[in-house]
Amino acid sequence: MAGSILGNRVLRKEDPKFLTSGGKYIEDLNDEPLFAGALHVTYVRSTVAHAKIARIDLSECRSAPGVVAVFTAQDLGLEEEPATYNPNAKRAHLAIGKVRWVGELVAAVVTERADQGEDAIERAIVEYEVLEPLIDLEQSMTSTTHIYEGCGSNIVMGTVEMGMPDNTGDELFKDCEVVIKGRFINQRVAPCPLEARGSAAVWVDGRLHQWISTQHAQGVRAEVVKANKIDAEKVRIITPDVGGGFGAKISAYSEELLLGKIAKRVGKPVRWRETRSESMVGLGHGRAQLQYVTLGGTRAGKVTAYQLNAIQDSGGWVDVGTVLAPFMTRPMAQGVYDIEKVECRTTSVVTNTTPIVAYRGAGRPEATAAIERAMDLFAAEIGKDPAEVRRMNLIPKFSEPHKTKIGHTYDVGDYSAALDKAMAVAKYSEARAEQAERRKRGDKVQLGIGVSVYVEVTGGVDPMQEHAKINVLPNGRAVVFTGTSPHGQGHVTSWAMIASSETGISIEDIDVVWGDTDLVPTGGGTMGSRSLQQGGAAVQKVSIEIVDQARRLAAQLLEANEIDVVLDKSKGVFHVAGTPSISKSWSEIAASADAKAGLTQEGMFVANSATFPFGAHIAIVEVDTETGKVKHRRHIACDDAGRVVNPLTLDGQIHGGIAQGTAQALLEEFRYDGDGNPITTNFADYTFISAVELPSIEVVHMETPTFVNPLGAKGIGESGTIGSTPAVQSAVIDALLPLGVRHIDMPTTPERIWSAISTASA
């Protein structure tokens, strides 16, 4: 991008605020005039995983200090409503007749202060008739105890039920010389955003104003409209700064959707904030997929057949997690490999656990983890280097759309180049030589090298379009309005860079507005790594159009033909070609359009298809074979996200993704006991990663622009997570191959490593 700000490492405009005065989150809105006299809502939650509700007695709650009101589903006139993804499953925002996971809402208590609510809910009496708790996926599939009786089964969605063939037989592999099978658990994880959820609601002149920590204000507005049964124009959603979302904050939850009704009933503003322990059971979880894989090929290393049977835990509700396996894991099952025969079956099952939602990568990390683990098992079985087995099976470089055997169409790809770049930086041969020496010596600390090559889909979430508006003010500053919603991605900087590259207005003079449905009524939010390729493309589109609009006005002011007027982007002025001494600034042009409002252009960018970023990761670890302790020594990441707008932001996204991916491989797992009680409900029990456990990440840049949007950009927000997890898991197992270990399910904790070594040597 010669001569453009795009492609340069630009420091983030938003960082000074966060590093000095700090962001402004839901809990920081105490000076909001509309919150004056706000009451606090605290929820009574189910303490059992699966039960009929025999009796709810809130009389003691009502008499507790500071209590203003208490509500059950009946008090608020709630009714059970069908799930979006299976209408036979029905529930209400407060439990009616039955609870289905620990943490499900049973009642609401409204108090003058937040601490009074915490005390008051302790007085709630809820009597349960306990039912069989179903925590194990395969047990739930066959159980005659149905979590949603209307479904007639705990299987709530599946490819077989959708009319696709049952592909779990071995016919696919009859001609294979070598066949490996595996059973893998892609474990349940909690999103753990830095900022737990919070919301506030107030009615003003018959209109509901609600503040929510969300990734998609416009989508949440539709949910709030439905929950309150009012017209869309009577709802305003405002999103302040959001301290992390990772997919779990895309939609609104019952806690937030009830606030409008409660505020109306008590006649005052109401606020709700989530404790960390509540967040661990109330905020949707991620992953939770059981995978059966079969992979076959020749002894020379050519893979000819692959089969994946993915069983998806939906948790206690038929939410978006239900569709991740059929619509995200299945399409990406083939990965980067040129395999003649590929089949994938998915089955989504409800259990008595926290519902599964989208979590960074949402179905694609699961697909990559399955096939990458299978490739490692295959390489170990035939005694070949796992990187070389991958290389000989990669889809060759392509610049035209490539249709996979599973039926997906990738845009562009050069998977071999990504692998080569990562291996070169890793000094792969030298690492293997060091590993061989350690093995020969019988060192107690062994070296493990994990390789992962991946492709993922981004920008494929409906709607595949985004709205943007740019307003150049009479003072020469510009304001960009976007339907995307930043929560750490650096949109303010990137959108300002894009607008600046087209208008010549300095990024310091460009502000970005998002997350207020009165100011930005249309928007697709931030999810599925869609923001730059659709939101950024929309900003580029309207920026180009406002330049054309300004050129026409400048021609009038300069008394020249429009065709002769040019924009000098270096100075941000318009002049007649060949006569730069006489010019008109953006300020003058905006004032001529409207002395108060300035010049405005808005529009929509519509994408014709998704994009498919790809890459290769290499993880190098040390494993103490006596204690099971893992040290992540090096991590090399080559993530191709198409044309790069800001390499600094790109690197940050990759670093964050690798941290989360590594955490899943080594540490994180949300667990339940046999009765469905969560046993990892705080950061003392649920282990998450810190800088101490991570190496300095070595990012290898590679750009293969896509033709899907004019920026040539593909997504990057989730790629680091997708590539790193299988690389780190494989590295740990690779260190233990000489000891007879072939697989360890994630997280590869010291306990599991030690157990695997003991079992292999028995």
Do 464 and 454 fall into the same domain?
A: no
CATH number, domain containing residue 127 = 3.90.1170.50
pLDDT for residue 141? 97
**Among candidate residues 606, 638, 660, the one where a domain is terminated:** 606
Residue 29 has pLDDT above 70, yes or no: yes
Provide the domain count of the chain: 3
The backbone region for 122, taken as left when phi is positive above 0, alpha when psi lies in -120 to 50, beta otherwise, is alpha
Do 313 and 355 fall into the same domain?
A: yes
**Among candidate residues 282, 306, 336, the one where a domain is terminated:** 282
pLDDT for residue 170? 75
Distance, in Å, from the CA atom of 666 to the CA atom of 729, rounded to the nearest integer, reads 7
The answer to which of 157-161, 173-177, 321-325 has the lowest mean pLDDT is: 157-161
Helix runs in 613-687, H state only:
647-666
Q: Is residue 44 part of a domain?
A: yes
Contact call for residues 658 and 717 (beta carbons, < 8 A): no
pLDDT for residue 577? 96
Contact call for residues 239 and 213 (beta carbons, < 8 A): yes
Q: Is residue 163 part of a domain?
A: no
Residue with tokens 């997890």: 725
Distance, in Å, from the CA atom of 256 to the CA atom of 671, rounded to the nearest integer, reads 26
At 492 the three-state DSSP class reads helix
Q: Which three-class secondary structure string do you get for 394-409? A: ECCCECCCEECCCCCE
- Segment 686-703, tens digit of pLDDT: 998 999 999 999 999 999
Distance, in Å, from the CA atom of 504 to the CA atom of 10, rounded to the nearest integer, reads 16
The residues near 187 (Cβ < 8 Å, ≥ 6 apart) are 287, 288, 664, 668, 669, 670, 745, 746, 747
pLDDT for residue 300? 98
Q: What is the mean pLDDT of residues 490-518?
A: 98
- Segment 458-493, tens digit of pLDDT: 999 888 999 999 999 999 999 999 999 999 999 999
Higher pLDDT, 350 or 162: 350
Helix runs in 292-405, H state only:
321-324, 364-382, 386-393
What percent of the chain is predicted at pLDDT more than 70? 99
Residue 162 has pLDDT above 90, yes or no: no
Q: Is residue 618 part of a domain?
A: yes
CA angle at 709 for the pair 704 and 710, rounded to the nearest 5°: 90
Do 454 and 464 fall into the same domain?
A: no
Q: How confident is the model at residue 168 (pLDDT cuts 50, 70, 90)?
A: low
List C-alpha distances in Å: 411 to 120, 680, 684, 703, 705: 57, 41, 44, 14, 10
- Segment 94-153, tens digit of pLDDT: 999 999 999 999 999 999 999 999 999 999 999 999 999 999 999 999 999 999 999 999
**Among candidate residues 589, 606, 623, the one where a domain is terminated:** 606
Residue with tokens 């090929």: 297
Q: Nearest CA to 187 among 671, 527, 659?
A: 671
Do 377 and 308 fall into the same domain?
A: yes
Q: Is residue 123 part of a domain?
A: yes
Do 617 and 599 fall into the same domain?
A: no
pLDDT for residue 160? 75
Residue 1 has pLDDT above 60, yes or no: no
Q: What is the mean pLDDT of residues 372-395?
A: 98
Q: Is residue 464 part of a domain?
A: yes
Q: How confident is the model at residue 2 (pLDDT cuts 50, 70, 90)?
A: low
Distance, in Å, from the CA atom of 419 to the CA atom of 59, rounded to the nearest integer, reads 65
Q: Where are the beta strands (DSSP E) in 491-628?
A: 510-513, 565-568, 573-576, 579-585, 599-606, 614-624
Tally of residues, the chain: 762
Q: What is the pTM of this model?
A: 0.96
Residue 381 has pLDDT above 90, yes or no: yes
Distance, in Å, from the CA atom of 345 to the CA atom of 290, rounded to the nearest integer, reads 12
Do 595 and 639 fall into the same domain?
A: no
Which residues constitute the domain of residue 499?
Answer: 460-606
Do 63 and 210 fall into the same domain?
A: yes
pLDDT for residue 167? 65
Q: Is residue 143 part of a domain?
A: no
Containing 636, the helix (H) or strand (E) segment is strand 630-640
Q: Is residue 161 part of a domain?
A: no
Do 492 and 390 fall into the same domain?
A: no
Do 647 and 577 fall into the same domain?
A: no
Do 524 and 423 fall into the same domain?
A: no
Q: What is the mean pLDDT of residues 490-507?
A: 98
Cis peptide leading into 747, omega within 30 of 0?
yes
The residues near 506 (Cβ < 8 Å, ≥ 6 apart) are 500, 572
Q: Nearest CA to 481 among 471, 473, 490?
A: 471
pLDDT for residue 171? 87
CA angle at 13 for the pair 9 and 16, rounded to the nearest 5°: 115
Q: Is residue 355 part of a domain?
A: yes
Do 448 and 492 fall into the same domain?
A: no
Q: What is the mean pLDDT of residues 614-628?
A: 98
Do 599 and 689 fall into the same domain?
A: no
- Segment 181-220, tens digit of pLDDT: 999 999 999 999 999 999 999 999 999 999 999 999 999 9
Mean pLDDT taken over the chain: 96
- Segment 658-685, tens digit of pLDDT: 999 999 999 999 999 999 999 999 999 9
CATH number, domain containing residue 597 = 3.30.365.10
Q: What is the mean pLDDT of residues 393-402?
A: 97
Containing 417, the helix (H) or strand (E) segment is helix 415-426
